[in-house]
């Protein structure tokens, strides 16, 4: 704006002031109002609701671990190792057994043609002082025969046996007999694996001659045979000659019962 424009603006304002203060009150007979005009009421101010401040814990970034699996190939002659769950070992069930004699033809056995062989006795690796019987009653008889299959659920067992000869004094009768061998008592037990009928585990014979006169001071009965072939089934082939009776019992350590 130029200076002349400002002069005209001031003049106009002066005229309006004279009209409003002097001329208008004179015409309307009202005193001039020098008060500041009242402004319209404004609505009360409302403070904004403060926002809730959420505090967060600093997040620590955990580095991602990488697991590297290295596959190794076993040599051709080595079986790869496998991880298996442990198998619960079933404890043996101990029940008293009653054993009967059966027809030898059940096992295709002829008692007249049985070939006996002497095997060395097995020594027990255990120090055992207490035994109990596996059978409800011992196997007893007088003549040759074959037994039923007997289940032996323990790893170690013993066979205890005793015999009674038919003649208490054999040497006193030899003069009237044509052959001493015909009256000589004999006894043997074949222990046969029931799963392999042609496999004789062991042949048992009493040591020495069966002469009761030799046992008056030191009776060796019952004889005891030790077996490490357990956890299996067996049957016995018994051959007896000139005996009044024999008795066979199967024993096992009583300590095995504590594991049942």
More confident residue, 145 or 6: 145
Domain spans, the chain: 1-30, 101-259
Span 101-259 CATH architecture: Sandwich (2.60)
Q: Is 217 left (phi over 0), alpha (psi -120 to 50) or beta?
A: alpha
* Whole-prediction pTM: 0.56
User: 175-226, pLDDT tens digit by residue?
Assistant: 444 454 556 899 999 999 999 877 899 999 999 889 888 888 889 999 999 9
> Of 138, 133, 139, which Cα lies nearest the Cα of 154?
133
Q: How confident is the model at residue 56 (pLDDT cuts 50, 70, 90)?
A: low
H helix or E strand, kind and range, residue 3: helix 3-18
H helix or E strand, kind and range, residue 239: strand 232-241
Top-ranked range on mean pLDDT: pick from 88-97, 196-205, 210-219, 239-248: 239-248
The two three-digit tokens of residue 83, written as one number: 């991880």
User: Using an 8 Å Cβ cutoff, are 158 and 252 in contact?
Assistant: yes
């Amino acid at each position: 704006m130029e200076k002349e424009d400002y002069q005209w603006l001031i003049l106009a304002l002066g005229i309006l002031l004279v009209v409003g203060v002097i001329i208008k009150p004179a015409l309307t007979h009202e005193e001039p109002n020098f008060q500041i005009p009242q402004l319209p009421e404004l609505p009360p101010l409302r403070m904004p609701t403060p926002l809730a401040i959420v505090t967060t814990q600093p997040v620590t970034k955990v580095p991602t671990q990488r697991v590297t699996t290295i596959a190794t190939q076993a040599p051709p002659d080595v079986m790869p190792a496998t991880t298996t769950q442990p198998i619960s070992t079933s404890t043996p069930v101990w029940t008293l057994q009653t054993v009967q004699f059966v027809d030898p033809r059940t096992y295709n056995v002829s008692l007249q043609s049985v070939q006996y062989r002497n095997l060395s006795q097995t020594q027990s690796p255990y120090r055992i002082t207490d035994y109990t019987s596996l059978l409800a009653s011992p196997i007893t008889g007088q003549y040759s025969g074959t037994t039923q299959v007997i289940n032996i659920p323990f790893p170690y067992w013993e066979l205890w046996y005793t015999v009674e000869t038919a003649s208490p004094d054999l040497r006193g009768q030899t003069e009237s007999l044509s052959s001493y061998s015909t009256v000589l008592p004999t006894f043997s037990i074949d222990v046969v694996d029931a799963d392999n009928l042609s496999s004789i585990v062991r042949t048992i014979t009493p040591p020495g001659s069966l002469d009761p006169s030799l046992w008056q001071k030191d009776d060796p009965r019952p004889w005891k045979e030790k077996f490490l072939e357990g956890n299996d089934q067996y049957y016995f082939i018994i051959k007896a000659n000139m005996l009044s009776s024999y008795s066979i019992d199967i024993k096992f350590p009583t300590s095995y019962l504590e594991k049942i």
